[in-house]
Amino acid sequence: MYKITFFTAIFLFAALSLNAQKLTVGGYGEVAFSRNFYSDSPYRYAKPDQYASDPSHGRADIPHAVIYLGYDFGKGWSMQTEIEFEHTGTGTAYEREFEEAAEWESEIEKGGEVELEQFWIQKSFIPQLNVRMGHIIVPVGGLNNAHEPLNFFGVYRPEGEYTILPSTWHDTGVSIWGQAGKWRYEAMVVAGLNGMMFNTDKFIHKGAGSPFEFKVATSPGFAGRIDNSSVKGLRLSLSGYAGNTLHNSYPNDLMGVNYTTGEQKQYASLKGTLLVGCFDFAYKGERLIVRGNADYGHLSDCVTISKIKANRSGNGSPYSRRAVGEQAYAFGFEAGYDIMPWFKLRDSGQKLYVFARGDHYNSYIPAEGQTLAGYTEKTVVSAGVNWIPLPQIAVKCEYVHRFLPGGYNDEPAVNIGIAYLAFFKNNK
C-alpha cells in the first residue's frame, strides 16, 4: 500500500510540474452500513432448518475508495491510472467457505486489497480509432461498463452481475476503440481468465484475479462491446467474451508431453472454453432513470475442471475445491423516479429518486453428472431512495429481500450508504 501511495505522490508532483492544464484527477468512494436479518453462519445453506431463527447481524464497510489520475502528453498520447482500496484491508482477508466443512480460507488476490485497476497508455488517431495498451477495464456487462456508485441505485453493486462476472473486471492487454456518430465500439485482447479460480457460488467472478506476482497469459481472452445511442437518452449495448481457461493456470502442468513416458498428458486436449454474452441498456430522462441487464455464460469441460480443482486444491493451494457449473445467468432491472419537484425544490439542483430493483440469477447450473447446489438460484428485490444533494454525491437507503428456493431461508436486509463520484480538471 505504501508503494502505491508513494507512486501516486510522485506522479502527481511530476504532472503538476510538467503542465497542470493536462492533468486530470478524480475518483469515487462508498461507505455502507447493513443490518442483515438472517444467519451469518457458513452452514446456513447446508442445514437451513437449524439457522432459521438466528439473530440479525450488522456490518459496516467501505467497499471501494478509488483515485483516478490521468495525463495528456499531447500529440494524441495520454495515460490513466486507477488505484482502488477495497474494504480498508491490508491485502489478505479470511472467509469461511460454504460447504467444505465451513473451513477458514485466506483470500488473496492480485495486489491484495489495494489494486491497480487501470494503468494504460493510449494513442488517439481519430475519434473512430484509438489504441489503448496496459491494464484496462473489460466492459463486459452493464456493471463493468459503469461500475461507479452513482451509476446504480443500490447501496451495493447489482447482485446478479456482480456475482457471476468479475467486478470490476480488469486485465492486461490491448484495446482498440472508437466512436462514429451514435455508435461506439471496443475490441480487446487480454491475458484471459483462469478456470481454476471459478467456483459454485460465483461462477467466473474470481477468474480475472491472480494469486501470484504475475498474471498467467498462456491462453488470451477476447472481449468486445458495441453501444448505440440513436434514441435520445437511451443507450443499448451488446458485449461478450471468449477464451480458453483450463491451461491459464500456474504451473502449467496439465498439457504437453510427459517426458518420462513420451505420451500426451491427460488433459492436454481439453480447453475449458468460456463464452459470455451480455445485453444491457440505460435510459435517462428528465426525471426517470431505467437500467437493465441480461447476462449468460457457458463453460465447456466444467466436469473436468471441477475434478482437477478437487484433486489439486488444499495444502496451501490458492484454488478452491468447489465445483464450477456449465452455465450461469443473471437478469436485472431497476427504475427510479425523481420526486423532488413534488416538494417545490426544482431549482435547488437536488434530486430525490424513489427506486425499485429486481435481480434473478443462478451462479451454478451443473452439467450432466454434476451435483446440484440448490441455493445458488436467487431472486433479489429491493426498494429505496437516493437523495442527490449535489451531482457528485448520493445518499442511499434501501430494503433488500433475497428469495431462495424452497427449503432455504430468505435473506432480508436494510442498507444505508453514502457515495461520491467526481472528476476534477485543472484549467488554470
Q: Of 239-243, 262-266, 294-298, give the lowest mean pLDDT range.
A: 262-266
Statement: residue 328 has pLDDT above 70:
yes
Statement: residue 111 has pLDDT above 50:
no
User: 257 falls in which pLDDT band (50, 70, 90)?
Assistant: very low
**What is the arithmetic mean of pLDDT over 234-242?**
98
Give residue-wise pLDDT tens across range 155-183.
Answer: 999 999 999 999 999 999 999 999 999 99
The whole-number pLDDT of residue 247 equals: 82
Statement: residue 344 has pLDDT above 80:
no
18 membership: H or E segment, kind and range: helix 2-19
State the pairing for strand pair 183-190/65-74: unpaired
307 membership: H or E segment, kind and range: helix 302-312
**What is the arithmetic mean of pLDDT over 358-364?**
98
The whole-number pLDDT of residue 395 equals: 98
Statement: residue 27 has pLDDT above 60:
yes
The whole-number pLDDT of residue 231 equals: 97
- DSSP-assigned beta bridge partners for residue 162: none
Give residue-wise pLDDT tens across range 280-289.
Answer: 999 999 999 9
DSSP string over 134-182 = EEEE---SHHHHS-SGGGSSSSS--HHHHHHS-TT-EEEEEEEEEEETT
Q: Which of 196, 303, 307, 209 is nearest to 251 (CA)?
A: 196
The whole-number pLDDT of residue 425 equals: 67
Q: Which of 30, 17, 72 is nearest to 425 (CA)?
A: 72
**Domain carrying residue 62:** 2-425
The whole-number pLDDT of residue 427 equals: 45
Statement: residue 191 has pLDDT above 70:
yes
- Residue 358, burial from CB neighbour count under 10 angstroms (0-12, 13-18, 19+): middle
Specify which of 240-249, 345-354, 378-387 reaches the highest per-range mean pLDDT.
378-387
**What is the arithmetic mean of pLDDT over 198-212?**
91
Distance CA 132, CA 338 (A): 38
Q: How far is CA 35 from CA 124, 178, 410, in A?
A: 47, 44, 14
The whole-number pLDDT of residue 374 equals: 87
Distance CA 207, CA 222 (A): 14
Q: Which of 267, 268, 96, 298 is nearest to 204 (CA)?
A: 298
The whole-number pLDDT of residue 90 equals: 57
User: 210 falls in which pLDDT band (50, 70, 90)?
Assistant: confident
C-alpha grid cell, residue 216: 498467467
The whole-number pLDDT of residue 123 equals: 98
**Which residues, including other chains, have CB under 8 Å from residue 420's CB and lie 6 or more apart?**
28, 29, 149, 150, 392, 393, 394
Determine contact, residues 115/81, Cβ cutoff 8 Å: no
- Rounding to the nearest 10 degrees, give the CA dihedral for residues 7, 10, 11, 14: -170
The whole-number pLDDT of residue 216 equals: 86
C-alpha grid cell, residue 339: 420526486
Q: Of 19-28, 178-187, 227-236, 347-356, give the lowest mean pLDDT range.
A: 19-28
Higher pLDDT, 143 or 103: 143
Q: Of 97-101, 185-189, 229-233, 318-322, give the lowest mean pLDDT range.
A: 97-101
What is the dihedral sign for C-alpha 32, 421, 89, 157? positive
- The CATH number covering residue 292 comes to 2.40.160.10
The whole-number pLDDT of residue 208 equals: 92
Q: Which of 210, 64, 226 is nearest to 140 (CA)?
A: 226
Q: Please compute Rg for the chain using Cα positions.
A: 22
Supply the mean pLDDT for the chain: 87
DSSP string over 206-223 = TTT--SSSS---SS-EEE
The whole-number pLDDT of residue 4 equals: 52
Statement: residue 312 has pLDDT above 50:
yes
Q: What is the DSSP letter of 203?
A: B
Between vectors from CA 214 to CA 208 and to CA 217, what angle results, nearest 5°? 60
Give residue-wise pLDDT tens across range 51-75.
Answer: 999 999 999 999 999 999 999 999 9
How many domains are there within the chain? Answer: 1
- Residue 348, burial from CB neighbour count under 10 angstroms (0-12, 13-18, 19+): exposed
The whole-number pLDDT of residue 110 equals: 42
